[in-house]
Amino acid sequence: MKKCKTVILGSIGIDDIQTKTDNRKAILGGAASYACVASSFFTETGMMSIVGEDFPKEYFEKYKKFGIDIEGLIVEKGGKTFRWGGTYDDNMIDRVTNFTELNTLEHFEPAVPASYENAEYVLLGNLAPATQLSVLEKMKNTKFVVADTMDLWINIAREDLMKLLEKIDMLMLNDSEARLLTGEHNIIKAASKISAMGPKYVVVKKGEHGAVLFEGDEIFIVPAYPIAHLVDPTGAGDSYAGAFIGYLASADNLNIQNIKTALYMGSVVAAFGVERFSLERFENLTIKDITNNFNGLKRMTQI
């Protein structure tokens, strides 16, 4: 029987995106799209998500071309795919949401196909903590589970989030979310409080300024890969998480060296992704390109 080593839960969306100098309508997006593609460079990746009947057929082919297993992708009859529209500020960091149409995502109950149940590496992308938990309960053989979250769930689903935190190995979240979750402005103190809630590893993401890994009292500083031509930052955090779990699965040994390397891979792959809209930059990206930039990032940081 086929078996995915890594499975990823997340949204799929059709996005309208406006940046300072450019815009795109109805392009493929969503956390699961970015994360699965990023992971697919390193490992067999299964996708758990949902779309409607309106979802363009060519996008299924696109996922398959990356080698992504889409058995866990639900196509809801008569349903409409999640849609999101956003406009980025001139700084290409802050953004306003122009519209959100949850559509099929609103009542999404993830399917965990038999071929996914024994996946050892799991990424629970940003969805309601109850949805993340429902997937985790069906997994039979996990070695490493990483979850993402957002301000919305911290505000409205804190109790479920707390249950989730007890069951995962790593939480990835933005600095502002770490502050919101803990009431601590200082990220060292915030990460320490989050660790006490359950996860052995906490990764605080700081966008263009990289990320920081906390494991107990140990700190590891993960640089962002510097980019001269930023086109669309959408999905960067998801590509980061996807490349992380994918690399870790391929290494398949949970020593700290592999975890650090996996985070560097996250920075490298995320930086490629933002050079174009949607998944475009990944389409002709090779593992050799990734390795080159990984070595480049090492050169930029090692003394």
Closer to its own copies by Cβ: residue 8 or 212: 212
Instruction: Tell me how many residues contact its own copies (CB under 8 A).
Output: 30
Q: Where are the alpha helices (DSSP H) in 139-235?
A: 151-156, 158-165, 175-182, 187-196
Contact call for residue 233 and its own copies (CB under 8 A): no
Closest CA to 15 of 127, 106, 101: 101
CB of 243 to its own copies, least distance (A): 15
- State yes or no: residue 272 binds its own copies (CB under 8 A): no
Stretch that binds its own copies, among 41-49, 159-167, 179-187, 247-255 (CB under 8 A): 179-187
What type of residue sits at position 123? L
With CB under 8 A as the contact rule, the residue among 57, 58, 228, 288 that binds its own copies is: 228
Tell me the residue type at 28: L
Which candidate, 13, 25, 239, places its Cα nearest to that of 106?
13
Angle, helices 175-182/187-196, rounded to nearest 10 degrees: 60
Regarding 220 and contact with its own copies (CB under 8 A), the answer is yes
Q: Which is nearer to its own copies, 91 or 141 (CB)?
A: 91
Both structure tokens of 191: 């990460």
Q: Which pair of structure tokens corresponds to residue 179? A: 């502050």
> How far apart are the C-alpha atoms of 29 and 234, rounded to whole Å?
8
Q: Which of 257, 284, 286, 288 binds its own copies (CB under 8 A)?
A: 257
Rounded CA separation 44/32 (Å): 14
Of 102 and 230, CB closest to its own copies: 230
Mark the segment that binds its own copies (CB under 8 A) among 11-19, 130-138, 209-217, 231-239: 209-217
For 302, which DSSP code? -
Question: Does residue 261 touch its own copies according to CB under 8 A?
Answer: yes
Whole-angstrom distance between the N-terminal and C-terminal Cα of the chain?
47
At 222, give phi and psi (nearest 5°): -105, 115
Range in contact with its own copies (rule: CB under 8 A) among 7-15, 40-48, 60-68, 259-267: 259-267
Per CB under 8 A, contacts with its own copies among 51-110 are 90-92
Instruction: Work out which of 206, 215, 280, 289 binds its own copies, going by CB under 8 A.
Output: 206
Binding footprint of its own copies on the chain (CB under 8 A):
90-92, 185-189, 206, 209-210, 212, 219-221, 223, 226-230, 257, 260-261, 264, 298, 300-303
